[in-house]
Structure 1
Amino acid sequence: MFKGFKEFLLRGNVVDLAVAVVIGAAFNSVVERVVDSLINPIIGMVFRADSLDGALQISLPGGGTIALGAVIGAIINFVIVAAVVYFVFVMPMNRLRKPAPESGEPPVPTEQELLTEIRDLLQAQTGGGGAQPEPPHKH
């Protein structure tokens, strides 16, 4: 029973997921600070409210309120998190995964280029005065 549980925990995906959750939680506090210290004062200046939670509130006749500012704040948080995750994690990982082009080596010709070169060499050796057949048309 414990052996199966140990194998489950030591799988690569589970460990990666655990690391991602921990980093995500820590990163969330950074985003909250940026929003509280940078975004909310600007919003407060524009909408005359302390934060987005208090901005753009619509009072309902029954006594409730619709807080559009809170929704906008959540969207801003999401966009900031998505941008930082993309630019800090995804882009560098994509660059690391790409094979570096080897300088000094010519590019490998395609099969079609090689066949064309072989045909031309054979025609030159045999005196190739004849007309070349047309390549087959693709339908």
Structure 2
Amino acid sequence: MFNEFKTFVMRGNVLDLAVAVIIGAAFGKIVTSLTDDILMPIIGKIFGGLDFSSYFVTLGAVPANYAGSLSDYAALKKAGVPLLGYGEFITQAVNFIIVAFIIFLVVRSVNRLMPKKADTPAAVPEDVTLLREIRDELRQRRSI
């Protein structure tokens, strides 16, 4: 069983997938930082200095022992208050659009760099070739 697992893991596809997941996780952190630290503050500044993470709707009661700010999304969430955080959703949607666009650019670039495969006709099976030869021979005999 161990040898079978080792064979499975050492296949190229599994190793490629593992590398892709690791690079994807690191790439995700970069995009999150780009969104949170650069783009969203600029977008917030354009729309009046608003912090999108502070856009939420409280769906339940705040615990009586809660001593923090009622406008602090992270603190309310940590306290267990049910919240509808649509500002955070907007931030994540922008993250997704950025990641999707960058992946589109990467795939597009790779496709342009890859050599185009020449359209080669598929190999004809031997039995089809034999049948064609028989057909051609019969046509020749009829015409004689």
For normalisation by structure 1, the TM-score amounts to: 0.60
TM-score normalised by structure 2 residue count:
0.58
For the 8 Å contact 2:36–2:91, the answer to whether it is kept is: no
Any residues of structure 2 matched to 1:1-139 within 5 Å, and which? 1-45=1-45, 46=47, 48-50=49-51, 52-55=52-55, 57-60=56-59, 62-63=60-61, 64-88=82-106, 90-99=107-116
Residue deviations 1:37-74 (CA, integer Å, cap 9, x gap) = 22221233225433x2213x2344x4343221111111
Q: How far did residue 31 of structure 1 move?
A: 0.4
Aligned length: 97
Q: Provide structure 1 residue ranges, at least 5 long, that are not aligned to the other structure.
A: 102-139
Q: In 2, Cα distance between the equivalents of 1:72 and 1:38?
A: 15
Q: Secondary structure in 2 aligned to 1:30?
A: helix
Aligned to 2:74: none
Give the ranges of 4+ consecutive aligned residues of structure 1 lying more than 6 Å apart after TM superposition: none
Give structure 2 stretches of 5+ with no counterpart. Answer: 62-81, 119-144
| C-alpha RMSD of the superposition | 2.2
Q: Percent identity?
A: 42
Give the letter aligned to residue 81 of structure 1.
V
Does the CA contact (< 8 Å) of 2:44 and 2:50 recur in 1?
yes
1:10 Cα deviation from its structure 2 partner: 1.2
Partners of 2:94 and 2:9 lie apart in 1 by 35
Letter in 1 for 2:113: L
Structure with larger RCO (C-alpha < 8 A, sep 6+): 2
